[in-house]
Structure 1
Amino acid sequence: MTTVPSRPERGHGEPGGSGTFTASMFAGSMMMLSGPLSILMGASGIAQDTLFAASRYSYRFDLTAWGWIHLVIGVALVIAALGVLTDQGWGRGAGIGVAAVSLITQFMFVPYYPLWAIPVMTIDLLILFALTRGRLS
Structure 2
Amino acid sequence: MRTPQATGTAPNRADRPLLAGGLLVGTGLADVLAAYGMLRSGPFMVLSRGGLYPVDVTVWAWLHLAVGAAVGLAGLAAVTGRRGAATVAIGCAALALAVDLLMLPYAPIRVVLVAAVDAAAIRLLLRHRRATGRAG
Runs of 5+ unmatched residues, structure 2: 1-7, 49-54
Q: TM-score, normalised by structure 1?
A: 0.75
- Asked whether the 8 Å contact 1:39–1:74 carries over to 2, the reply is yes
Shift of 1:121: 0.6
Identify which of 94, 99, 112 aligns with 1:100.
94
Instruction: Tell me, yes or no, if structure 1 residue 25 matches structure 2 residue 30.
Output: no
Alignment CA distance shift 1:29-1:136 (3 Å) = farther
Is 1:132 aligned with 2:126?
A: yes
Whole-Å separation in 2 of the counterparts to 1:136 and 1:46: 43
Uncovered stretches (5+) of structure 1, i.e. residues with no partner: 1-12
Q: Which has the higher contact order (CA 8 A, sep 6+)?
A: 2
Instruction: State TM-score, norm by structure 2.
Output: 0.76
Which one has the bigger strand percentage?
Answer: 2
Look up the match of 1:111: 105
Instruction: Give the one of 47, 64, 72 matched to 2:66.
Output: 72
Runs of 4+ with deviation above 6 angstroms: none
Q: Residues 126 and 46 from structure 1, CA distance in 2 versus in 1: closer, same or farther, beyond 3 angstroms?
A: same
CA distance in 1, matches of 2:64, 2:30: 9
Q: Give the superposition deviation at 1:62.
A: 3.7
In the alignment of these two chains, the number of paired residues is 115
Which of residues 8, 31, 39 is equivalent to 1:38? Answer: 31
Q: CA RMSD in A?
A: 2.1
Q: Following TM superposition, by how much is the alpha carbon of 1:48 offset from its aligned partner in structure 2, in angstroms?
A: 1.3
